[in-house]
Amino acid sequence: MDRDLSIPHRPVMLEALLAWLLPVLETPAIFLDATLGGGGHTQAFLRSRSDTLRVIGLDRDPACIAAAQVWGQAWGTRFVAVHGDFRDLAAHLARLDTPQVDAILLDLGVSSYQLDTAERGFSFMRDGPLDMRMDTTQPVSAYQLVNESTASELQTLLRRFGEARWAGRIARAVVSERQQQPLARTRALADLVARTIPRGAWPPHIHPATRTFQALRIAVNGELEALQAVLPQAVDALRPGGRLGVLAFHSLEDRIVKQFFQQEAKGCICPPTLPQCMCGRQPTLKVLTRKPVGPTVSEVEDNPRSRSTRLRVVAKLEV
């Protein structure tokens, strides 16, 4: 079978998501999986309710949508797959004539399918073209960033999105290397980063190029900007009482989610020096997970990629 039509997906923290999001789904209900991927979460939600739940699956990866249009046929009109970026969530829902939904899931970051497919260029473990585009229809890939950015731009990128200690040294090494020939392969970049970072400074348990690849991937796909754009749209799209669950995999995205949830739960944005609230802003969310929920020990043992997962859930308030 064509790989694009058979995308494996091991849904992370599935039981926790069903526990947090499923009880709020009334009859009938609409669930928005804004990061469809291989459809593992979506299919579990569809199975959880016989014919009372409709699911909208949104993803920016054309391969995931192509696969979903095949396996989704088994669910008939209960499932619709939409190709698009969740930063445009409101526009996608408007086109579907679905202004509000009952629950939303954001499963952030790169999927196992993307990591395990060498030609997508996400992983230093499998040699492939330096690509990293989640949406392969977009023009800019990691190749352009690596080979066309200045050393200063690369250094800033690596520090901001990878929190890389050796960002300056890596950036200069990249610029020097590409003067000989362009850096076009993931393995070549990973080996260069490993040679550049002093052996004694390699991080424990992870490859020395991990943060570099993370930074490039985030930059290529505008992941943090997209996250900041989608969160308020997701709140607007929820019916009162509806829930939003977000799975984050590193501190940069989890920090954005945490701060947004805290602010929306607080309401007032007046300076603390004012004797009383002047903005009149009311809370829109209730935080249901005071601390992020992590995977169980057994899940981490079964799926090591789940170990850094952090789940945060909020409920929309009547405003």
Q: What is the pLDDT of residues 143-177, one digit of tens each?
A: 999 999 999 999 999 999 999 999 999 999 999 99
Pair 145, 293 in one domain: no
pLDDT on residue 267: 77
The number of distinct structural domains making up the chain is 2
Pair 13, 83 in one domain: yes
13 pLDDT band, cuts 50/70/90, is very high
Pair 7, 102 in one domain: yes
N-terminal to C-terminal alpha carbon distance within the chain: 50
Pair 157, 84 in one domain: no
Q: What is the pLDDT of residues 191-205, one digit of tens each?
A: 999 999 999 999 888
Pair 141, 84 in one domain: no
User: Whose structure tokens read 């007032």?
Assistant: 268
pLDDT on residue 277: 83
Q: What is the mean pLDDT of the chain?
A: 93
Cα dihedral sign, 131-126-108-9: positive
Give burial (CB, 10 Å; 0-12/13-18/19+) of 139.
exposed
Pair 231, 158 in one domain: no
pLDDT on residue 50: 72
Q: What is the pLDDT of residues 83-114, one digit of tens each?
A: 999 999 999 999 999 999 999 999 998 888 89
Pair 216, 161 in one domain: yes
Residue 185, strand partner residues: 129
- Domain end residue (candidates: 204, 221, 238): 221
- Do 292 and 254 meet the contact criterion of CB atoms below 8 Å apart? yes
pLDDT on residue 4: 40
Please state, in angstroms and rounded to a whole number, the distance separating the CA atoms of residues 85 and 104.
Answer: 15
Pair 119, 216 in one domain: yes
- Average pLDDT of the residues in 136-146: 96
Domain that holds residue 227: 3-110+223-316
pLDDT on residue 146: 98
Pair 90, 231 in one domain: yes
- Domain end residue (candidates: 202, 221, 240): 221
pTM of the model: 0.92
Q: Kindly state the tokens that stand for 214.
A: 């993370």
Q: What is the pLDDT of residues 210-268, one digit of tens each?
A: 999 999 999 999 999 999 999 999 999 999 999 999 999 999 999 999 999 999 999 78
124: CATH: 1.10.150.170
Q: What is the pLDDT of residues 23-64, one digit of tens each?
A: 877 778 999 999 999 999 999 999 988 788 999 999 999 999
1 pLDDT band, cuts 50/70/90, is very low
pLDDT on residue 2: 38
Pair 229, 196 in one domain: no
Helix, strand, or coil (residue 10)? coil
297: CATH: 3.40.50.150
Is 80 exceeded by the pLDDT of residue 7?
no
Pair 11, 80 in one domain: yes
pLDDT on residue 6: 58
Percent of the chain with pLDDT over 90: 80
Please state, in angstroms and rounded to a whole number, the distance separating the CA atoms of residues 197 and 178.
Answer: 18
- Domain end residue (candidates: 187, 221, 255): 221
Pair 105, 119 in one domain: no
Please state, in angstroms and rounded to a whole number, the distance separating the CA atoms of residues 10 and 112.
Answer: 8
